[in-house]
Amino acid sequence: MEILLQQIINGLVLGSMYALIALGYTMVYGIIQLINFAHGEVLMIGALTSWSCIGMMQAAMPGAPGWLILLLATIIACVVAATLNFTIEKVAYRPLRNSPRLAPLITAIGMSILLQTLAMIIWKPNYKPYPTLLPSTPFQVGGAFITPTQILILGVTAVALASLVYLVNHTNLGRAMRATAENPRVASLMGVKPDMVISATFIIGAVLAAIAGMMYASNYGTAQHTMGFLPGLKAFTAAVFGGIGNLAGAVVGGILLGLIEAIGSGYIGTLTGGLLGSHYTDIFAFIVLIIILTLRPSGLLGERVADRA
């Protein structure tokens, strides 16, 4: 029972990170029907930027509390990621907005490879140990353990999701986003500026990705130039699982995928008679993707953001 509870906690933490990343995919798709496959690399840039900032601030402010360094690094990483994603949208995607759908998709894949290469040049290809800025002593919960970092991940995810829901449903920007998703031309006649709304969507997605990247690096203890590929792909699976284009679906898909992956990793050895170990857990995400695409291509809550307006 303790093992199951531990895997549920791990799954909620992992699913929270997938949910934050998946929201970036689903927001962009909900407005311009683009799968931004460079989104995982924005996560990676955010994580590596924060790693550099933490190192420099620890050297410049040796007596500073860990929470202050973490907060400053988060702000800088979010600004860098937002600027990067804004530039990508304006330079790489906006000129192709009226092109066949395959053109921006190929561009997104190319941008992903470009960002990985640039990150490898700037930060080198070796793994970087990500600093631990919070106490490492875990808390015991009914026989399972949860670390302060994991508690922070769950708390930050809850705040970020609540803020996003409020923004989309109760602000002028949110109404403009829903109007643009429904019909950009009609929205522009009503005074909405679609280009600005789309740029804002990319910026919000980048901020969520940067936060998720820092969480991911902090949870696993390392950062590297290829670190965004697999969580980005799994978060895309989560978005499809929940219903891409649907904000609630991205959250539900992320949490469920995290739980499936974590619980599966705890029991895969038993289920396969010792044939497979926990390092085969990546297969669960893609089995889920294949099943969903086969049985319910629209996902569990499949609808576009605009349909919720």
| Alpha-carbon 90 to chain mean position | 21
- With CA atoms as reference, report the closest residue to 35 among 205, 192, 179: 205
Instruction: Report the alpha-carbon distance of residue 276 to residue 39 in Å, rounded.
Output: 31
Name residues of the chain where pLDDT drops below 50.
304-309
Q: What is residue 293's predicted lDDT score, i.e. its pLDDT?
A: 80
Residue range 9-48, pLDDT digits in tens: 999 999 999 999 999 999 998 888 888 999 999 999 999 9
Residue 177, CA distances (Å) to 35, 149, 187, 269 in order: 17, 33, 9, 46
* 118-140 tens-digit pLDDT: 999 999 999 999 998 888 788 88
Q: Where on the phi/psi map is residue 116: left (φ > 0), alpha (ψ -120 to 50), or beta?
A: alpha
* CA gap 271, 274 in Å, rounded: 8
* pLDDT value for 306: 44
| pLDDT score of 308 | 44
What does the alpha-carbon distance between residue 25 and residue 90 come to, in Å, rounded to a whole number? 17
Q: What is the pLDDT of residue 123?
A: 95
Cβ atoms of 16 and 157 within 8 Å: the answer is yes
Backbone angles phi, psi at 144, to 5 degrees: -105, 170
Predicted confidence at residue 228, as pLDDT, reads 93
Q: How far apart are CA 286 and CA 292, in angstroms?
A: 10
Helices (H) and strands (E) in the chain, counts: 11, 4
Domains and CATH numbers, the chain: 1-97+104-295 (1.10.3470)
First to last CA, the chain: 43
* pLDDT value of position 35: 86
* Residue 28 tokens, joined: 């962009």
